[in-house]
Structures are given as C-alpha cells and as structure tokens.
Amino acid sequence: MEYRKVGDSDLSVSVITFGAWAAGGWMWGGTEQTGAIDAIRASYELGVTSIDTAPIYGQGASEEIVGEAIKDLPRDKIQILTKYGMRWDLAKGDFGFKSQDNAGKPIDVYKYSGKESIIKECEDSLKRLGTDYIDLYQMHWPDITTPIEESMEAVLRLIEQGKIRQAGVSNYTAEQMQLAESVVKLASNQVPFSMLNQAINDSLVPYSLEHKKGILAYSPMERGLLTGKIKPGHQFAEGDHRAGYRFFKEQNIVQTSAFLEKLKPLADEKNASMGQLVIRWTIEQPGITAALVGARNAEQAIQNAKAIDITLSADELAFINEQIQTLELV
C-alpha cells in the first residue's frame, strides 16, 4: 500500500481508503453487516488503514459497523475519518431532502452545523465508533443557516480537547475553505471526483495545491458505473438511490460502457479489472490524496486494495485522458 500526508498536516492516510457509505445500507438497498465487517478487516490486512464514514450513513449504522470491525485492531494503526452536519433526528438548519431509514421509515435530512450540534454529534460518533478520538472530522455539507466561523469554532474546541486530530470539510468550494481557515487550519476537502466528473479541476484542485490541502476523492467509481458491471437496461434494487442519479441515465450508461470497452485492452494487459484501473488512474491525478472506495464483502475489498499493484506510465495516463475527452454525458 502507499500512504500520503493529508495536505501539510501530521495525518497520513492509505491512498486507497475504505468508503463506508454503502456499508450503512442507507440509499444502497440495504446492507449485510457481516459482509461489511469482513470487507473492512480484509482491507486492513492489505494495508488499507483509513476508513471514511459518517453518522448519516444508515443513521448511525455505518459508524457502528466500523466500530465493530476495528475493535480488535491496533487503534494507532487506523485512521478514522468521519463527518458531522447532517441531522435526521433534528428538524433544524437547511432542509436537505426526504428519505427513508433502513427500516423504511420516512426521515427528513437537514444540513445543520450549529456549535452545540457539532459537539453532540462528535460525542455520538465516538460512542458508535468505540474510540476516544477521530483522526479527521469533516463537515459533510455546507450549512447556509450557520456561519462557517461558528461551526469551525466548535471544531477548534474539539481539537483542543483531543477528541479530533485534524479538521476537514466535504463538498466545500475554495471560497468556503478560505473562510473556514480564518478559524481553524483545514487538512482536506472531500469531494466527488471520477473519470466522468472532474469539475474540481477548475478551481478546487489549483487552490488545494497552492495552499497544501489534501483532496479525498469520493465516488471515484461513479457509484459502481465505472466497474463495467452495470450495463444498459440495469435494474436497481428497491431503495437504491442510483436509479435516479444522473450518471445512470440510460444514454450515459450506454456511452460509459462504450468508453470502458476502449480501456479494456489496457486493463487486460495489466491483468487488472476495470475497477482496479480506475482506482489507479484516480490516485495518479494532480492534487488527489486518496480515493474512497466502498466494498460490500471481503472479495470486493481485496480487489480494490490490489489496485495499488498496477502501474500506469505517462503515455498510458495520457491515453486514458484522451478517451475521457470523447465523452459527452447528459
């Protein structure tokens, strides 16, 4: 495995980081707890020491699964990345969307990052994770109802108390990061990035490189689309959010399938799966510290971790980028 410092902080993470959204089941058509725990442990055995989760993933379920998976592992060898600022148990802040919990009960999700809420969320996360500190604590989404400075003051207090090591954000613009940094030093920003979605290259990547901030790329597999396993006409399970997600429009699936066919000879030459090729490409991109990749079972986790064994030359990276340029997704 390879490890990189997150920005210029004292925190290092595995460049392939375990993304535990699907482990919580929520919005992914359910979960199988044993499979998720096995996936995290199998990842760890192959050097994937960093795990990214959030309270909203399964309304606590994902954090509990992570806590169970790591309870017998050496805590100082693991980096726990979790988040705050999405409440399903409190109608306060900026209304996000309507959803259902894992039992099918309707819930309203709010983006809320008031000071007292962050303090409470941190305590709840520590309990669920079975630990006394969080390595990277990230605001999940900007909350337009609370001044960023107020939220960051709460985070600063948690750092002073030793409950978190580093402050991060997620889904922030460069301007929002700058505002946050007037109060607390940020280590990173976690944002969507994939072969199909490179919007961050416009301003966020240049800002992060200039100011030495880490970028944690989430959805690098575009929620499974870039594995090549999702073909035109695919039917998603009940409760799977991908059915309404823009990249899964039929014409986009058709285009992506054709695009992946062009990359297949390169993957075959490397004796790699399409997913492994995609992961390796992602962590080779300018500014990207780590790629967050999920797995529902040990076998998937092992395949993801083994992407580290692939090497891509400058010419091969250029070839992939040329193919990406031909895409015209709607």
Q: Are strands 214-218 and 186-192 parallel, antiparallel or unpaired?
A: parallel
In whole angstroms, give the CA distance from residue 305 to residue 297.
13
Q: At what angle do helices 33-45 and 298-305 cross, to 10 degrees?
A: 30
Is 57 labeled as catalytic in the residue annotation?
yes
Q: Judge whether 58 and 26 are in contact, CB under 8 Å.
A: yes
Query: What long-range pairs does 32-36 form, CB within 8 A, spacing at least 24?
Result: 32/296, 32/297, 33/61, 33/65, 33/68, 35/296, 35/297, 35/298, 36/65, 36/69, 36/296, 36/297
The Cβ-side half-sphere exposure at 153, using a 13 Å CA radius, reads 8
CA torsion sign for 70, 73, 76, 78 is negative
From the candidates 44, 57, 110, 137, which is the catalytic residue? Answer: 57
Active site residues: 57
